[in-house]
Amino acid sequence: MTNALTRLVTLVFFTALLSACASQKTGQGLVAKPPSESQIESSVKDQVALMLHAFTPVAGQAIPNNTVLDVYKHRGYSPMWIKDKQINLSIYKLVDILEKANTHGLNPIHYHVGIIKHYLSLKNPTPQQLAEMDVITTIALASYAHDLSNGRYEPQLIDPNWQLDAPSNDWKTLLQMASVNDMVNSLHLLAPRSPQYQILQKWLVYYQELSKKEKDIFVTPGKPLAIGDQGPRVAQLRARLVQLGDIRFSTRKVDEDRFDKQLKQALERFQNRHHLIADGAAGPNTIKTLNVPLKRRAEQIAYNLERWRWLPSQLEANRIWVDLTNYSVDMYLNGNHTTMKAIIGTPDRKTPVFKAIMTYMVVNPTWRVPDRIARENLLPKLQADPNYLSKHGYKVFANWGIGAKQLDPTQINWRAISQENLAFRFEQTPDKNNALGSYKFMFPNRNEIYLHDTPTKRLFRARNRAFSSGCIRLERPALFAKSLMTDGKDLRELAAAMKSKKTKVLTLPHYIPVYLVYFTVVANANGMPEFRNDIYGRDKLMEEAMGYKAFSPHDSI
């Protein structure tokens, strides 16, 4: 069912429900006196199952119904939002929070704001209506708490290669607080605590509000603009950079139509934070990027806020952070931060997103060629040159079994073998030309992904480094290896292993979590939003799953 149809069905259903409820009369018309606590409590018990069933999941996200049911059972089905015949004022604060769910990239329609407000507008609500309001408000609270803490969408339903989902139970703890006042006041604490999330969330609000107040200022396409140029297109460029925050407001008088040094510097800042060549000239790619609408930028930020909600609420102080869209690896160890360039999987062989624990490294590793690479890469080279294996230090074995017989590659007719029939195992011996270089860093995972050295150093000079078959190649593997060792004894063992030229496994003195992450918008060192290339087309999958538009409170029923 489409989102639009879901909304329509929900609207029709609850319009009928509310009309039916509102038509309940006594002999003197609508119930005039406030219902008793026992009447409301009895109605709450009756309404919990009904309301949980009626408010079906929206957009594929399973509303935490069981948690709501458990909360009411624990309370003996006493109402949460009504006490001493009075509606708790915190419900109005909650409504205000839910109406602003769009400031986190969430849609207020998912939290039944319009329905809650309808109940609150009733002058003489019946016990059943009060019970309904109590339950639907609790459902809304639970859903928003869950979504703000863990994300609304299931990542692997969006992208099978996205395997990083670290759900938190903090939102359940919130529902166990003594009063709804505490629950509502603590809601904001459920959002990710990362400074990255907090900065991006503020930029989302900026883009949302700016797109409502102002029209996009676009730069008319044409010949490249550079320092010294003059004309109305230069004025457009300057105004757009002011709108996007790359030029701060200044009282200094400027010639808006002239491309001066300050404008060049501002354009370079824009280019840097959009992963463009920072030449300070407005060529076709730069103008195209400048003309991306504000609303589209807000959508991109919303996708990345959701990705942050899929991460643990707090990250470990010691961790390895493989930043796929930045082609880099960051090491956070013992209070020190080291970063280096990395090479990631090609778009056809995407590096997946996941978390694992690094437990050991292999020095002078032997490379056992994965079956897919053997079929698709190695076999064509063998068919072109039967001596390719001996030239590059490979051994070939009869099969993948332990103790398989080593074969003479010159006695095999490689041209007679198809990719589908290739059953040999290939291994590359340790040397300077080994595809894994001198180091392999292991964090056991079902994807068989690891970090490693490479003899092909020239590829690190490229800006976009998606060249591997999925594993991560490191620019400075020796530095990486030394950073994992905590004392002189470990370092001496590492040096001896390297000197031996033999394959040796070294267990790490401390196991370290490894995150492989994918963000297309991050906050840069200056707190500005940095928009990156969507290397693997994952934003499109987010757009399809979230059905995103510029959410506003008016989107709620």
User: Is position 74 annotated as part of the catalytic site?
Assistant: no
**Helix/strand/coil (H, E, C) string of 298-346?**
HHHHHHHHHHHHCCCCCCCCCEEEEEHHHCEEEEEECCEEEEEEEEEEC
Phi and psi dihedrals of 187, rounded to 5?
-55, -45
Q: Which two tokens stand for residue 490?
A: 């470990």
Report yes or no: 263 and 241 within 8 Å, Cβ to Cβ. Answer: yes
User: Is position 452 annotated as part of the catalytic site?
Assistant: yes
Beta-carbon-side half-sphere exposure of residue 16 (alpha carbons within 13 Å): 6
Q: Which two tokens stand for residue 401?
A: 């079994």
> Which of 21, 471, 510, 554 does the annotation list as catalytic?
471
Element (H, E) at 511: strand 504-517
Report yes or no: 289 and 277 within 8 Å, Cβ to Cβ. Answer: no
Element (H, E) at 139: helix 127-150
Report yes or no: 544 and 299 within 8 Å, Cβ to Cβ. Answer: no
What is d(CA 236, CA 557) in angstroms, rounded to the nearest whole number? 39
Report yes or no: 51 and 142 within 8 Å, Cβ to Cβ. Answer: no
CA dihedral sign of residues 276, 463, 330, 308: positive
Strand partners, 362: 440, 505
Burial of 484 from C-beta contacts in 10 A (0-12 / 13-18 / 19+): buried
Residue 99's closest CA among 161, 162, 47, 144? Answer: 144
What is d(CA 118, CA 347) in angstroms, rounded to the nearest whole number? 49
Q: Which two tokens stand for residue 96?
A: 């205000």
**Helix/strand/coil (H, E, C) string of 391-452?**
HCCEEEECCCCCCCCEECHHHCCHHHCCHHHCCCEEEECCCCCCCCCCEEEECCCCCCCCEE
What is d(CA 310, CA 120) in angstroms, rounded to the nearest whole number? 34
Q: Which positions ≥6 away from 59 have C-beta within 8 Å?
A: 3, 6, 110, 152, 153, 545, 546, 547
Q: Which two tokens stand for residue 20?
A: 């039916």
> Which of 110, 112, 118, 452 does the annotation list as catalytic?
452
Could you report how far apart the first and last alpha carbons of the chain are, in Å? 17
CA dihedral sign of residues 134, 136, 141, 142: positive
Report yes or no: 240 and 223 within 8 Å, Cβ to Cβ. Answer: no
What is d(CA 471, CA 253) in angstroms, rounded to the nearest whole number? 53
Report yes or no: 350 and 538 within 8 Å, Cβ to Cβ. Answer: no
Q: Which residues are catalytic?
A: 452, 471
